[in-house]
A = this chain, B = another copy of it.
């Protein structure tokens, strides 16, 4: 079942490392996937339930065999339960991330977190104004404390909708959500409700369970939006930067420290500290001529890329490759998408794996706990640990692929509107809308999600973007989608020249020139980490409000060509609820139920306007998305 190496990744650097791994006998995610194949057909189709101890139960997809679990739950119930719990897992993750931010903001405001000053006062004031916190005549800390308290209140169930949901979507969406009873009233409470709903003997109506999943997903949306807002307040709202990506950013003559995970609370501080002279002197004293070289992995990579120009070494499915280069001295992780395998691989090298969060430990890793009150101190300890590890390098094992690509990153909503304002100061959205109306921008596609071992790494992304760009679709990207695009050079002005259709090229060039780039904007506008998808939603909401239509009418789509995590399930579900046709390039575990697949891919359209498009062929997927954008253009009376 072993994949041919070319089927594993489209990325030269990753392939080069995989060759090294094979020779060295180091097992990677691709080997483990091969060992797991064929995967369980019941699990793959969602026809398995372990929610009580009368199980485990399985539904036979064939003519013969059990059609109900022990309790009587049929295929539809089982599959719907599985999706609902996946959304709950995703919401809990984004919620944990956002809550962590909110507590830190509160502590910052109280003067209990000196390492976390408020860096973006104008963002703070903008968020405060949006959620109804008075700003006039008040100190920054007073405003921040109130913002943090309102954020924290969004986690528990209230008698009113979530503030972060109610204040960030169109009026039309609010009405739709109310109509179908999916208005979330708490982030953590939505997770708990989903878990309650899906335990033994509670909800047995698959459609009701799916509506519950949508409610929870809207809580996930709120958590994502909150995490982004608060990260911007604490660390600054991103603006475009130019940096490098891929494994070639590791340096033979530097202490290489990779930041991996999701929350800027860890990575931003390490990034800050890594520039300190004393630490760099220590690194040099240890033999690292170039001092300390911090690189990013995964979404933390996005966070530090857009705020600190830190290069992105790799992402998600190829995270192990960073260690196998033999040149990584420390891999520092917080939470989410951290493969437990990193510990075993680090043991084959000199790399020190460092965990930092109480809820995310790994046996054999060094645990340096990271708290608000001692953040910089912990960060320095981390860097010093990396310097010590550097001394143990085995020169014979160092094989850094000489592969890098330039990447333009950091197109936050504010940055995009700022660039548009250079074209039309009075009405920044006008150039965007005018070009959509004129057909120079056929539509907008947000790429999000992960890399999966089930698809040749980056293959779906690269095939889809070429098709879409040719058809003048404006491309936004977050999370590991950005990693894929960065590795293959799509986050550059050159890619615009090469791949964009004439209309799109003209628009990106006009804005790029107005912004002083002397050429087009990059083909992909990088909006951040996977928690930052709400930035794209904000742009869409602004356009919808400006046009006086709801989101379900815009030629805006989303795509997760290589989704993996429960977070991706949650994000995809809220994208659908937001009215976006949402493509998945991997079949989620739903095929066991006609009802669930029907609701997700069809009935959802009648209820919310958005729906899932499951298509594993990337060119066909792009075609379907273009067709959908065409339909929506027609609906708005535009040329299709």
Contact = CB atoms under 8 A, between A and B. Distances in A.
Given A54-B453, A72-B341, A203 B29 contact: no
A152 B50 CA distance: 30
A336 B200 contact: yes
B72 A360 contact: no
B340 A204 contact: yes
Contacts of A92: 191-196, 199
Contacts of A40: 42, 48, 56, 58
Interface string A24-36: 0000010011011
18 contacts: A32-B69, A35-B66, A35-B68, A40-B56, A48-B48, A50-B589, A52-B566, A53-B588, A53-B589, A71-B341, A85-B85, A91-B195, A93-B202, A95-B192, A191-B191, A196-B359, A199-B567, A204-B361
A93 B360 CA distance: 25
A348 to B, nearest CB: 13
Nearest to A219: B192
A85 B336 CA distance: 16
A539 to B, nearest CB: 27
A627 interface: no
B208 A54 contact: no
B192 A96 contact: yes
A43 B48 contact: yes
Contacts of A187: 192
B72 A339 contact: yes
Given A32-B70, A40-B42, A71-B341, A195 B197 contact: no
Contacts of A313: none
A201 B335 contact: yes
A171 interface: no
A528 to B, nearest CB: 19
Contacts of A197: 359-360
A595 to B, nearest CB: 9
Contact of A338 (B195, B204, B563): B204
Contacts of A388: none
B199 A68 contact: no
A344 interface: yes
B565 A53 contact: yes
Contact of A57 (B39, B74, B335, B359): B39
Contact of A363 (B42, B202, B204): B204
Nearest to A92: B195
Residue among A68, A77, A358 with max Cβ neighbours from chain B (10 Å): A68
B69 A36 contact: yes
A301 interface: no
A93 B199 contact: yes
A70 B359 contact: no
Given A192-B191, A359-B197, A36 B57 contact: yes
Please give me the 10 A-B residue pairs with the lowest Cβ-Cβ distance, nearest first. A72-B341, A43-B56, A156-B156, A92-B195, A204-B340, A205-B361, A201-B337, A188-B188, A96-B196, A72-B340
Contacts of A565: 52-53, 199-201
B96 A29 contact: no
Nearest to A260: B201
Nearest to A89: B199
Contacts of A339: 71-72, 201
A33 B564 CA distance: 33
A76 to B, nearest CB: 9
Contacts of A72: 29, 32, 339-342, 344
Residue among A32, A335, A336 with max Cβ neighbours from chain B (10 Å): A32
Interface string A123-166: 00000000000000000000000000000110111000000000
Nearest to A197: B359
Contact of A188 (B89, B93, B156): B156
Interface in A72-90: 72-74, 77, 82, 85, 88-90
Interface in A308-360: 335-344, 358-360
A516 interface: no
A52 B586 CA distance: 12
Nearest to A56: B43
A230 to B, nearest CB: 16
Interface string A161-203: 0000000000000000000010000111101111111111111
Contact of A566 (B200, B203, B341, B563): B200
A393 interface: no
Nearest to A82: B50
A44 interface: yes
A86 to B, nearest CB: 8
Contacts of A153: 156
Contacts of A412: none
A566 B192 CA distance: 13
A340 B454 contact: no
B192 A192 contact: yes
A624 interface: no
A9 B477 CA distance: 59
Given A35-B65, A186-B188, 10 more contacts: A29-B72, A43-B56, A53-B452, A54-B564, A72-B340, A89-B198, A96-B192, A200-B336, A201-B338, A203-B360
Nearest to A53: B564
A77 B340 contact: yes
A99 interface: yes
A361 B203 contact: yes
A410 interface: no
A80 to B, nearest CB: 12
Contacts of A68: 32, 35, 340-341
A68 B95 CA distance: 28
Contact of A33 (B70, B181, B193): B70
Contacts of A193: 92, 96, 359
A568 interface: yes
A362 interface: yes
A51 interface: yes
Contacts of A275: none
